[in-house]
Amino acid sequence: MARPSPPMPLLAAALLVAGAIPLGFIWILTSAKFEIGGASPGESTVGKVENIDQRAMEQFCTGVRATPAGTWLVGRREVGRDEQALPEGVIDLDLVAAAQPREEESEPHLFNFLNGMLLSGGDPETTYVSRLGADGVFHEVARLGETACLEVTPDGSSVFLLTGLRRPGKDNGQREQTVVLRSDDQGKSWRRLEEGFMAEANRLGWALAPRFHGKDEVWVWGDFEYGGADGGREPGQPSGLFYSPDRGASVESIATSAPLLVDLAYARELAPNGVSWGDYNGKHGQIKAHVAQLDAERAAIWVSQTFRYGPPEGRYLTSSVLVTTQAELRREGGRWQMGAIRRTDGVAVERLEQNMDGRVIAVLDHPDESRSLIAELDREALEWKITGKLPSPFWPLPSSSGLREFYMGRNVLLANTMNHYEVPLWLYPDEEPASVSANAVYYSDDWGSSWRRLDIAGYLGVLGFDEAHDRVFWARGNWYDSRDLGVQAYDLN
């Protein structure tokens, strides 16, 4: 007896599914790689620049800074300051700093590894500082022939330009901080801070990364990785954390209650026997330190270390040992006192943000998770509650996600991600696995539980974030691939 043929509709459906699977796979990879799609909520034009260099983006310390007192824009190009004429009315900050030209410097002192590279003569750079006018134009107000980071107090009244310029004067071998400039009149005039800005924390100005709290309070971590801080080897020693109640005019060094760092020997005990550690880790691995001030008398710190290892005969370090040391700080007798430390293996705080309402969100790395976790801090217990994961344009395919930028507003999170999909060996049989990389920008209005992709180019496409109004700033390409002078925004709230 002949076996009956399958019904034609069923056969057609099977063929359709068989054809759709590879097409869907190809579409996921293609749309991710070429950044196809994304939402455009509440699109608006913030303003335009007069010169495309004003919005030239780099990987750090460039872009838009929105404050209650005004909106700033910082651009940077790898061009010498003498290669471009200074527009009329633009302040020459090199003259304000009165810094020695690089070619006239004597042999530089290596403040730390990064500073040594900078002072020994890297590629020339120019920083452009602009401010948005009532006419909708970002007018350039100042220019500096060096790398610089712009920091603004929360109320917008004081602007600091943290530079890489050597301080002027006789070379006497002192480890002085590079030049820091300050403006208290929205960029109309600038002055050099003779004592620097929290100079005990880092000799390289633009590497400070200050974290403001309220109107005047500010915190800065020292530079663990290049010898600027040692995490307090004994109780009572400096921890590497500094605090100022008055915008950096006076500085308090926070003493440690116990060592904040573990060494490579500690990490070896947490890894399998016989693995390769390479030469990546040094003594303390990669260190990331965070602080959040919770109120006038209470704060918390997290110091995370990442140690990398790989197979004994492998070419790459593919696995991690993660360690985070946490402590609470209390304000007692006019000084901050560090409480007992708590050490957690298997987790690292990659990023930590605190919004103007006091909510604290972190991005947590975990060795068993290919995509970093989003977590909210229980402010009383100082425990993390997982709310979601970083998104990936390769979803639902298994992939890894990391961060280029992470911002937090009053009601929104913004993640500028870099993502990787490893092609299965049965699809691409080779000695080394192939991977596809992609950038994507997402926002979440439920603290990381769900994400929506934005129509913004990844990598350098995000110009900044307005925390008070949940707006993201962006532009149509960078200076080298677009001459569009506009600065755009999406309203994410």
Six token digits for residue 3: 């076996």
pLDDT digits (tens, 9 = 90+) for 102-161: 433 333 333 333 443 444 346 789 999 999 999 999 999 999 999 999 999 999 999 999
Better-scored residue on pLDDT, 102 or 204: 204
Does a cis peptide bond (omega within 30 degrees of 0) precede residue 396? Answer: yes
- Would you state the pLDDT for residue 231? 75
Cα separation, 71 vs 447, in Å, equals 26
Task: Indicate the helix (H) or strand (E) that contains 31.
Answer: helix 8-33
Residue 419 is predicted with a pLDDT of: 95
How far is 388 from 355, CA to CA, in rounded Å?
A: 18
Identify the pLDDT of residue 98.
84
CA distances from 370 to 290, 385, 441 (A): 23, 19, 18
Q: What is the largest CA-CA distance in the chain?
A: 104
Distance (Å, rounded) from C-alpha 376 to C-alpha 258? 26
Burial class (CB in 10 A: 0-12, 13-18, 19+), 173: exposed
For the cut 70, the answer to whether the pLDDT of residue 424 exceeds it is yes
Q: Which of 405, 439, 403, 406 is nearest to 421 (CA)?
A: 439
Query: With bands split at pLDDT 50, 70 and 90, how would you rate the model's confidence at 224?
Result: confident
pLDDT digits (tens, 9 = 90+) for 236-248: 999 999 999 999 9
337/332 Cα distance (integer angstroms): 7
Integer Cα distance of 35 and 400 in angstroms: 17
Q: What is the mean pLDDT of the chain?
A: 89
Q: Which residue has the higher pLDDT, 96 or 14?
A: 96
**pLDDT given at position 168:** 80
Q: What percent of the chain has pLDDT over 90?
A: 76
On the CB side of 411, how many CA atoms lie within 13 Å of its CA?
7
Q: How many residues comprise the chain?
A: 493
* Element containing residue 77 per DSSP (H, E): strand 70-77
What is the rounded CA–CA span in Å between residue 93 and residue 125?
A: 13
pLDDT of residue 33: 86
- Write the CB contacts of 191 (distance below 8 Å, at least 6 apart in sequence): 96, 181, 182, 183
